[in-house]
Chains A and B, each alone.
Chain A
Amino acid sequence: GENVEQHPSTLSVQEGDSAVIKCTYSDSASNYFPWYKQELGKRPQLIIDIRSNVGEKKDQRIAVTLNKTAKHFSLHITETQPEDSAVYFCAANRMEYGNKLVFGAGTILRVKS
């Protein structure tokens, strides 16, 4: 089955700096890779996703890159702000398995002001 590894487990950056979180997946057939943000005590919320026919996607300060050959994808947050502090989860999906998502263990991002 699919296995998703996420690094680092914690990340501290200064406000205004960039943050990068990386995930690797095991199943080469995975074709959908969402990123969720979860603030303390709140529900996970989708912030960006990428499909396997695209190498990069941007949405304002957030971008995701995908390397299918190496089976890894990364979340990039530029010009970080204190409100970016949260836990970020990556996930990988296989459409053949009914939209099943396998999540990484999460990255705690702290943005210091």
Chain B
Amino acid sequence: EAGVAQSPRYKIIEKRQSVAFWCNPISGHATLYWYQQILGQGPKLLIQFQNNGVVDDSQLPKDRFSAERLKGVDSTLKIQPAKLEDSAVYLCASSLGSGHQQETQYFGPGTRLLVL
């Protein structure tokens, strides 16, 4: 079974530039999550999708971050404009999305972002 795929793996940009990350979840997984993991901390949920609808985006800095999952499969996360404090690993995860049981979340390899 193929895992969660993410690209790019690494990205270096200057502050105020824009950047986009892509995620392809495990086939058949209805729920997709984007996490931000700052060095030395645990992952923090930014946004959660159920199919193509947003379930929770309460911790997404909406003035600069946006995410979409238009067809309920792949997802993109965008930062515009980037700040120094956005330097982190951006992890995508997916789960089956049955909605009735605590589900295992499977993580992708992450995109390591450095903002200079």
Contact with B along A59-70 (1 / 0, CB 8 A): 000000000000
CB atoms of A101 and B105 under 8 A apart: yes
CB atoms of A103 and B44 under 8 A apart: yes
Q: Is B14 an interface residue (CB 8 A)?
A: no
CB atoms of A51 and B43 under 8 A apart: no
The residue in B40, B42, B50, B109 that gathers the most chain A C-beta atoms within 10 A of its C-beta is: B42
Residues in chain A near residue B44, CB distance under 8 A: 103
CB atoms of B102 and A100 under 8 A apart: no
B interface SS class: loop
Complex Cα distance A102/B56, Å?
13
Residues in chain A near residue B91, CB distance under 8 A: 43-44
CB atoms of B102 and A45 under 8 A apart: no
Complex Cα distance A31/B102, Å?
8
A interface SS class: strand
CB atoms of B42 and A105 under 8 A apart: yes
**What is the distance, in angstroms, from B70's C-beta to the closest C-beta of chain A?**
20
Interface residue tally on B, bucketed by range: 20 to 34
CB atoms of A99 and B31 under 8 A apart: yes
Residues in chain A near residue B31, CB distance under 8 A: 98-99
CB atoms of B56 and A100 under 8 A apart: yes
Residues in chain B near residue A44, CB distance under 8 A: 43, 91, 107
Contact with A along B39-81 (1 / 0, CB 8 A): 0111111001010000110000000000000000000000000
Q: Given A31-B102, A44-B91, do A98 and B41 touch, yes or no (CB 8 Å)?
A: no
**What is the distance, in angstroms, from A1's C-beta to the closest C-beta of chain B?**
9
Known pairs A51-B102, A100-B45; list 6 more (Cβ under 8 Å).
A43-B3, A43-B91, A44-B43, A46-B105, A89-B43, A104-B42
Nearest 3 pairs of A and B residues by beta carbon: A103-B42, A32-B102, A43-B107
